Amino acid sequence: MSSAAENGHEPPTRTALKVSGLALLTLSFQSLGIIYSDIGTSPLYVLNGIWPASGPVPSKEDVIGGLSAIIWSLTLIPLLKYVFITLRFGTGEGEGGSFALFQGLFPPEHKDFDSDRILTGDSSLKNPSLTAKLPERWRWPLLLWALFGTSLTLADGVFTPAVSVTSAVAGIAIAKPEISKDVIPISIAFLVVLFLIQSRGTSTLAFVFAPVTFVWISLLACTGIVNIVSYPGIFRALDPSRAVLLFVRTRDYDILAGILLSVTGCEALFANLGQFNRLSIQLSFGCFVYPSLVLAYLGQGARLIVDGEKVLSNLFYATIPGGQNGPLFWILYVFAVLATLIASQAMITATFSLVQQLINMRNFPPLRLHYTSDKSQGQVYIPSANWILMIAIIIVIAAFKNATALTNAYGFAVSTVMFDTTVLLAVQMVYVKHLPVIIAIAFFLIFGFFDGLFWGAALKKVPKGAWVPLMIGVILMSIMSFWTWAKGLEDKFDGNNRRNLRHIILRKDVDDTIQVRPSVPVDDAEPNEKEQVEHEHDVKKPTYYVMENRDFASDLASAASEGRMKALSTIPTCAIFHKLTFGRGVPHTFVGFLRQWPALPRVVIFLSVRVLPTPRIPSHERYAVSKVRTIQGFYGVTYHLGFRDDFDVKVEEIIEQICSIERRADPAGSAALIREIQEVAQNSTHIVPHYMISSKDINGGRLLTVVNYCRRFLIEEIYRRIATMFPETENWQSPPDRIVHVGISAAI
C-alpha cells in the first residue's frame, strides 16, 4: 500500500475551530459580516411591522410595552437560547443547524476508507442503530422534523433578501417621494446583479463584509444613543412587566408577529457555527451586536413617542438625526443598502452550503457544485440553486409589491425553525449530553412556550402571505424526504449485495487442479500466511472463472460440471471500476458486469472517492493503493480529493504506485509483470456503474396491492427519472470518450 498513511500521516479531517487571544478577536470581528447581517438589518422594518404606517399612532405606554417585548425577545431567544445554550450542541466537526442536531442523535456511519480497499472481505455494512443515540423507530419521525426545519430555512433564503433589500431601498422615498414607485424595480435590479456575480465567488469581496457590518451596527448604536436623549424615560422598556401589560391591556396577539421580526436571523448564530466557533460568536453578539440593537430600538421608540405621526411613515429613516436630507441620512442609506446586500449574500451562501450538506448526506439529488474559495469548503456555487433562488425572489418581490406585505409572510419560516430547534435540543439533552430529564423538560417548556407564542402569531398570517414560505417548505421537504427514502433503499441494496471477490472469481491452474481459496481474507492474513499464498500463486499462470449463482460452492468441480462456472477471457486493457458506495468487497454492479461481459481486464482498479475538508491534496498524497494478493491484477484505490480539486483520475500515477507495490513484493522477478502492467495501462477505460431500479412487491392482501402500485410508481416513474437527470457522477470531470456507463438491474 502506498498513500499518505504510508508516509506517516493521514489526510486531514475536519475539526472544530480552536483559537484564542488575538486570533479569537479577529474571528469574532470576521463573524460580523456573515452571521449578523440578517438580524442586524432588522431595525429597518421591525417597528413598522408592529405599527404600520397606515395605522394609528400608538400611545406612549404601548410603545414602551412593544419595545420591552422586543428587548426581552432578543434577550431570551438569540442571547440566552442560541448564544449561551444552543451553541454547545454542535457536532464534533463544529457544525451547527437543525440537521446537525439530527446527526447528533443518529450519527452517520463511520466510513473505514482503508477497509474499503479490501476487495476479498465480506461487506462491512453496519447497522445504523449501533451508533444511534435513540431507538431506530425514532429515526424517520425526527428526520422528517429536521428536514422540515431545513426546508423552511431554505424558504427563508427567499424572503430574507426580498424583505431586507426592499426595506433598505424604500428609504429613498423619504427624501425623494417622487421615486417611491421605483423602489421595487431598484430592489430587483440590486438583487439580479448580486446573483449574476455568484459564479465568481465572494472571496474577493468578503474582506469588506465585516468592516461594513461593523460600521453599520456602530451607526445603529450611535443614532440610538442620540435619539434616546429626546426621551430618556424610554428605559422603562427594560422592565419585562411592561411587555406583559401591553398584551393584557390591548389583547392584541398579532403584535407578536411584528416582534418576531426582531429575532429573524437568530438561527444563523447556530447554523454558521462551523465557520467560526462558539466563543467568537458569544463575544461578538454579547459584547457588540446585542447592546447595539437594544440601543437602536430604544432610540426609535423614543422618537416615536416624541414625534408621533411625523416619523410613523418610516420609523427607521424618519428617526435619523439631522433631518431627511442631512449627511447622516445618506450615510445611513448607503450603509443600509450595503448591509442588506451583505445579508442577502450571506443568506445565498448559507443556502448553497446547506444544499451542499444535504447532497453530501444523500438527502438531496446531486447537483453541479463549483467551489469558489481555497480557504472554506462552505463557499460553494451551485448554478441551478442560484438561478432558482433568483427567480423565486423576483417573483416574491413583484407579487407582494411592498415591504409591509413581505413582512407579513416573513416570520412564519423563522418561528417554525426556532421551534424545530427547541424540540431537537430537548431530545439531545437527554440522549447525547446525558443531562437529567428534568432539565430537558424545563428547557422545552420555557423556550417551547415562547417559540409557540411566536409560531401561533405567525400562523395567523398564513392567509395574508405566510402560506408562500409554508408552500415552499412543504415542497422542498417532500423532495428531500422522497429522495432520502428512495436513495436509502438503493444504498441498502448495494450494501447487502456486496460480494467477496474470491466468491465471484475462482482460480483454476493450468494443470486443471482447481484450488479452493482459504476462508480467511488473504489481505487480513498473518505475514507468514501472505508469503505462503503469494509464493503458491506465483508458481503457475492461473485462469479464472466467474460463478453463475450467488452461493460460494465448496465443490468447485461439480459447479463446473453443472455449468455454474463460466470461463473468463483476459483482455489486455486496464479498467477503472468506480465504487459509488463504501464497504468491503466488490459491488453488485461488478458481478452483473462480469455475467454480461465475461471478460477480465488484465488490470482492474476499484476506485473509491474521498472528498476531504481541505482545498487541494498534493499529488503524492492523492492515491492510496492496496493489492489483492489472491487474484492477480486486482487493486483497490482510494482517490483523495480536496474540495477544490477537479475529479481527474491520473491513471499513470496509480499505475506508478501499483508497479512500486509489485516491485517491493518481488524485487528480483517482477520486471516482466511491471512491463505488462505498464503496457496495458496505455489503454484504460473508466467503468461507471448505475442501477436500473425496479420496485420489489410486498406480499400481502388487497391493501398491499395499492401500496405496491404507489411504491412502483414512486420508484420506477419518479425516482428512476430523477436519478437519471442527476447522476452520482455529476461533478466528475473524466473525458467522455474514456467512460463506459453500465446499467445493472436492481429490485429495491
Beta bridge partners of 330: none
DSSP code of residue 644: T
pLDDT tens profile 249-299: 988 888 898 899 899 888 778 877 766 777 888 898 999 999 999 999 999
- DSSP codes of every residue in 437-456: HHHHHHHHHHHHHHHHHHHH
Q: Is residue 110's pLDDT more than 70?
A: no
pLDDT score at 614: 65
Give 17's pLDDT tier (boundaries 50, 70, 90).
low
**Residue linked to cell 451607526:** 219
Domain boundaries, the chain: 33-106+163-465, 564-747
Beta bridge partners of 607: 578, 637
Q: Which of 10-19, 56-65, 98-107, 384-393 has the lowest mean pLDDT?
A: 10-19
* pLDDT over 90 percentage in the chain: 19
All cell numbers assigned to 323? 433631518
Phi and psi of 543, rounded to 5°?
-115, 160
Neighbouring residues of 128: CB distance < 8 A, sequence distance ≥ 6: 106, 109, 136, 139
pLDDT score at 665: 84
Q: Is residue 219's pLDDT more than 60?
A: yes
pLDDT score at 387: 92
Residues 600 and 554 sit within 8 Å (Cβ to Cβ):
no
Segment 435-446 shows an average pLDDT of 94
Q: Is residue 163's pLDDT more than 80?
A: yes
Distance, CA of 539 to CA of 518 (rounded, Å): 17
Q: How far is the CA of 82 from the CAs of 217, 258, 340, 346, in angstroms?
A: 20, 20, 23, 19
Distance, CA of 424 to CA of 45 (rounded, Å): 30
Q: Which of 143-147, 322-326, 439-443 has the highest mean pLDDT?
A: 439-443
**Residue 221: Cβ within 10 Å count:** 18
Neighbouring residues of 81: CB distance < 8 A, sequence distance ≥ 6: 266, 422, 447
Give 613's pLDDT tier (boundaries 50, 70, 90).
low
All cell numbers assigned to 94? 463544529
* pLDDT over 70 percentage in the chain: 79
Distance, CA of 28 to CA of 48 (rounded, Å): 31
- Three-state SS sequence of 13-54: CCCCCCCCCHHHHHHHHHHHHHHCCCHHHHHHCHHHHHCCCC
Segment 642-664 shows an average pLDDT of 80
| CATH 1.10.530, applies to 33-106+163-465 | no
Strand ranges inside 613-647, DSSP E: 623-627, 634-642
**Residue linked to cell 493450468:** 510
Averaged pLDDT score across all residues of the chain: 79
Give 423's pLDDT tier (boundaries 50, 70, 90).
very high
Q: Is residue 560's pLDDT more than 60?
A: no
Dihedral of alpha carbons 107, 108, 109, 112, sign: negative
Give 372's pLDDT tier (boundaries 50, 70, 90).
low
Q: Is residue 652's pLDDT more than 70?
A: yes
- Three-state SS sequence of 149-178: HHHHHHHHHHHHHHHHHHHHHCCHHHHCHH
Give 227's pLDDT tier (boundaries 50, 70, 90).
very high
